């Protein structure tokens, strides 16, 4: 039992060391790196904290508006016409699929009635 726990702690600390190298190479502030590195060194909890903290931090970094003023909004305005066109096309396809299904059902019902007459 004790060797299992010890091996889990050792593996957790090895993972923590690898994660700390990733933290050091990141472009974050020194204070952020220090705090996350210290918490990452905690056995078992540290790597889990790293996964939650750093992955969430990286996701929000991608959503930042790093362009010129209005750049993010401008991109959405430019894409709006294309998105409307795509939605209209999808609506047309959906409508045509409903028509095809309706026609197939009518044809199936007609064949069933003809089969019943025989």
pLDDT digits over 7-22, tens only? 888 888 888 888 888 8
> What's the total number of domains in the chain?
2
Indicate if 58 and 33 belong to the same structural domain. Answer: yes
Residues 76 and 100 in one domain: yes
* Residue 110: band (very low, low, confident or very high) from pLDDT cuts 50, 70, 90: low
Q: Which of 19, 48, 64 is the last residue of a domain?
A: 64
Whether residue 90 is found in the same domain as residue 113: yes
Range of the structural domain that residue 110 is part of:
70-118
| For residue 30, pLDDT beyond 60 | yes
Residue 23 near residue 36, CB atoms below 8 Å: yes
Given this model, what pLDDT does residue 61 score?
A: 59
Whether residue 54 sits in one domain with residue 93: no
Residues 29 and 59 occupy one common structural domain: yes
Whether 18 and 43 map to the same domain: the answer is yes
DSSP 8-state code for residue 65: -
pTM greater than 0.85 (yes/no): no
CA of residue 87 relative to chain centroid, distance: 22
User: What gap in Å lies between CA 73 and CA 57, rounded to an integer?
Assistant: 22
Q: Distance between alpha carbon 1 and the CA centroid of its chain, in Å?
A: 39
Q: How confident is the model at residue 109 (pLDDT cuts 50, 70, 90)?
A: low
pLDDT in tens, 48-104: 887 777 666 655 555 666 667 777 777 778 888 888 888 889 888 888 877 777 766
Are residue 86 and residue 116 in the same domain, yes or no?
A: yes
Cβ 39 vs Cβ 46: under 8 Å: yes
pLDDT score of 81 = 85
Looking at the structure, do residues 55 and 108 belong to the same domain, yes or no? no
pLDDT band, very low/low/confident/very high, at 107 (cuts 50, 70, 90): low
Do 64 and 74 meet the contact criterion of CB atoms below 8 Å apart?
no
Contacts of 57 (CB under 8 A, 6+ apart): 28
5 shares its domain with 59: yes
Of 7, 57, 62, 63, the closest CA to residue 32 belongs to: 57
9 lies in the same domain as 36: yes
Residue 37 near residue 16 (C-beta atoms within 8 A) = no
Least confident interval from 28-32, 94-98, 109-113: 109-113
């Amino acid at each position: 039992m004790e060797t299992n726990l010890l091996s889990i702690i050792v593996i957790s600390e090895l993972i923590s060391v690898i994660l700390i190298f990733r933290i050091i190479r990141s472009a974050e502030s020194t204070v952020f790196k220090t705090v996350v590195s210290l918490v990452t060194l905690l056995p078992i909890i540290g790597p889990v904290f790293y996964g939650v903290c750093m992955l969430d931090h990286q996701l929000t970094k991608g959503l930042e508006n790093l362009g010129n003023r209005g750049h993010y909004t401008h991109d959405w305005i430019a894409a709006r016409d294309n998105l409307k066109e795509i939605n209209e096309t999808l609506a047309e396809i959906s409508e045509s699929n409903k028509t095809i299904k309706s026609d197939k059902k009518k044809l199936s019902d007609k064949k069933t009635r003809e089969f019943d007459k025989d």
